Structures are given as C-alpha cells and as structure tokens.
Amino acid sequence: MSAHAGGRPTAIPASTPHLLWLIVLGAIPGLTWIIGGAGPIGPLLSILLVAAVATGRNPVERLTAALAYYATGCWPIVGAVAGYWGTGHAGVGLLAWAACSVALAMPWTLVANWIGLVIALAITALPPLGVIGWLSPLNAAGVLFPGMGWIGLALAVGSMLAMHSALSVPTGQGRPGLFAGAPCWMLLFAAVVAIGANVRALPACTPPGWVGVQTHVVPSKGNVSRTIQNNQSIIDAGLAQGKGARVVIFPEAVLENWLPGTRQQFAEAVPPGEIWLIGAQAGRSDAVVAVTHSRAIAMPIAKAAGLLLGGDWQPWNEDTLRPTWLQHAFTLGGNRVWAALCVEQVQPWIWLEALWEKPGIIVAMSNAWWAPPGGAAPGIQEASTKAWARLIGAPVAWAENW
C-alpha cells in the first residue's frame, strides 16, 4: 500500500518484473522439495514461502508467490495419479495438480499482516484444507529446533512472523537496517537458539530389536490368487529381514484385508518371541494390526487419522476407506509408539496430534508401489517425516512397500 496526499492508502499496482521476481522467489523453495529428496533442504527452505509472500504488496502478488511455490512443489502429484490410477488418467493428474496448487495458495492472499500469516499457516495445515495440505513451512521447525517440541514449533512460527514483519515494509517508506527493529532482533535470537539446538541434538536411535521390513508387492485388485501370493511374499520378507528381531514393522496397507483367514495365516507364520506390526485394510480403516506367535488380534492397535483424498478415501464413494481424524499413540514393550501411515507423513495436522501424544518412537509405514521411477513424492514423505520426528525428538523405524 502507498499513501495519497490526503493520507488514505491506495493499492500498489502489480508490475510485470515484480511478478516475475515473485514467481522466482516462490518457485525456488518449492523446487527444493523435489530436488532435495529425503534430505532436510525441502523442509528447511519451505520457510522461504513466507519471505516470498511477504514481498507481495497486494493479494495478486501474494497469490503469485504462493502459487509459484505450490505449483512447483505439487508437480509430483501428476506422476502419482498416473501411477495409482494408470497412465490413461494423466489429465486427471494435471487437474489434481492445478486444483491442489490453487487451493493451497489462496489462503496466502490474506497475509497482509501477522494475523493473516497465522491464519494462512493454520488453514493450510488443518482440516478441511489440511487433508491435502503438504509442503507447509511448519516443516522447518524440526530442522531448525530439533527436540524442542511445542516450544520449537512456537519459535518457528515466531521466526516467520518476524521475517514477514521485516520484509513487508510499505513501498516508499524505506527499509530498516540489518539489525534495526524488533523483527530483526527476534530473527537473530531464533538463529542463536537454532544453532544451539542443532549443536546439542543427538541422533535418535530406535530401540534394540526393532526392525523395519521393505517389501515389493503390487495390489491384487481383487484377484484371490494374487492376494495369497502377496501374503506369502510379505511373510517371506518378514522372516528373512526380521530374523532375530523383537518387533518387526511392515509397510502400510500391504494386507488388503484382515479377515479370519488372513489372521490365521500370519499367526502361524510369526516366530516365537516376535511381534509383527503390519499395515492392513481392516474394515473401513487403514490400520496397524499386531500379530504374535499363534495369535492375531482382530482389533487394530492404530487407525489412520488421515487418508489420501481421491485415492483410498473417496468421500462420495461409500465403499472406500474412511479417516478416523484423531489418532492415539499405543504402548508396546514399554515404548510409546506413534504410527505415521503413508500420506499422514506429509499432513501437518497429523504431526500436531503426534506432538500432543509425545511418542518415544515413530513407525513410518508407507506404500509407494504407485510412484513412477524417480518420482519425488516418496522422498517428500520421508523428508517431512524426518523433520517432524526431529522436532519431537523421537527415532523412526521405516517400512516401505515399493
């Protein structure tokens, strides 16, 4: 905004060079999610979305910056849809990419002040929009403030508020010096705390005897013979990779049902002294089931709070899975366990639930059979999981089906 001679504000018109600059500022942190793989660069630089939006002087410019970020970072959706539904659905993938990008970018038009920033962070992280919410700047909290939990999250949000305040100075009024004003001092304080937290942070180690199993099975799509073969492949992988382990963790939804026949098959397969945690579709839930030697518990020990909209969860279809919305940690062998199931790994609201539950270990169970070769989505899932686990200060046991 700028001022009239009479003192009333007028909107500053968007200029083409400035819009192009905003596109670059937004696209760079979006691109780091794709090229950064499972590393910390994507979560860390996601905070630059706030900086890009802060330089927008009106809703159009703020939308431009945010849309550049999300359109770049959401591009893996196209390949994921084609892998999940088939290459004939490329058009649906493009539509899903565009819809997701626009929906997540729109709240950032509100970021004219600190209240708008808080609202945008909340809207893009929490349901209902949060069911497709990923790439949130809140991911940066785990990279910057490891082990600091809610305090680290508050410091990350405070850093974003200070960054926005420092960068969104009205045109024509000049900009403050490097350390002038409270926002710059707040950023300096946050930087010192972040450095100290990272220096003091120690690698979190999984408990002895906890082993994640990696599998390679493709859904049977109702073929009974293929289901039996898949189940046997899963058992063989568990026996080979989990030999001598105490807790063996399998990927998300590798079992397409948890009916009495399947329960008996796995109960007979588990060696004495072992506990198998298996991702299964139990009724209408994406769940984790527990199996010990000669005993398979019918009731899941955890159910997914969030599901992939348009994938396993289709609200318009009564025959698909349903999210539980709230998940709770469970206790196993004296450890408080949190199950992060596939798409939950990129949904901030799920991780806020995990922060509240304070787990001692996270089991990250994913299913990426749908990912095209070189697809970025699985890496984004892993990077997000690592960031939030780091904020919580809990180790991660990984199990993936690819």
Domains contained in the chain, CATH given: 2-199 (no CATH), 210-401 (3.60.110.10)
Give first-to-last CA distance, the chain, whole Å. 51
Q: Tell me the Ramachandran region of residue 226: left when phi exceeds 0, alpha when psi lies from -120 to 50, beta otherwise.
A: alpha
pLDDT for residue 180 is more than 50 = no
Task: Give me the phi and psi of 181, to 5 degrees please.
Answer: 90, 155
Find where tokens 């399947």 sit. Answer: 262
CA pair distance 36, 140, nearest whole angstrom: 14
pLDDT for residue 123 is more than 60 = yes
DSSP 63-106: HHHHHHHHHHHTTHHHHHHHHHH-GGGHHHHHHHHHHHHHHHHG
pLDDT for residue 387 is more than 90 = yes
Query: Where residue 183 falls among pLDDT bands split at 50, 70, 90?
Result: confident
pLDDT at residue 3, rounded to an integer: 43
Q: What is the pLDDT of residues 26-63, one digit of tens each?
A: 999 999 999 999 999 999 999 999 999 999 999 999 99
pLDDT at residue 7, rounded to an integer: 45
pLDDT for residue 175 is more than 50 = no
Task: Give me the phi and psi of 296, to 5 degrees please.
Answer: -120, 115
Rounded to an integer, the average pLDDT of 383-395 is 98
pLDDT at residue 259, rounded to an integer: 96
Task: Give me the phi and psi of 381, to 5 degrees please.
Answer: -55, -50
Cβ–Cβ under 8 Å, residues 396 and 386: yes
pLDDT for residue 174 is more than 60 = no
pLDDT at residue 230, rounded to an integer: 96
- Return mean pLDDT, the chain: 93
Q: What is the pLDDT of residues 344-360, one digit of tens each?
A: 999 999 999 999 999 99
At CA 20, angle to CA 90 and CA 66, rounded to 5? 60
Closest to 21 (Cα-Cα) out of 55, 63, 50: 55
Query: Where residue 15 falls among pLDDT bands split at 50, 70, 90?
Result: confident
pLDDT at residue 240, rounded to an integer: 98
pLDDT at residue 181, rounded to an integer: 59
Task: Give me the phi and psi of 318, to 5 degrees please.
Answer: -70, -15
At CA 366, angle to CA 29 and CA 73, rounded to 5? 15
**Where do runs of H (alpha helix) occur along 206-300?**
224-241, 260-269
pLDDT at residue 177, rounded to an integer: 39
CA pair distance 1, 8, nearest whole angstrom: 10
Query: Where residue 292 falls among pLDDT bands split at 50, 70, 90?
Result: very high
pLDDT exceeding 90 applies to what percent of the chain?
87
Closest to 62 (Cα-Cα) out of 121, 107, 10, 126: 107
CA pair distance 359, 136, nearest whole angstrom: 22
pLDDT for residue 307 is more than 70 = yes
pLDDT at residue 169, rounded to an integer: 54
Sheet holding 361-367, edge to edge: 330-332, 335-341, 361-367, 396-401
Question: What is the separation of C-alpha 29 from the centre of its chain, rounded to a whole number of angstroms?
Answer: 16
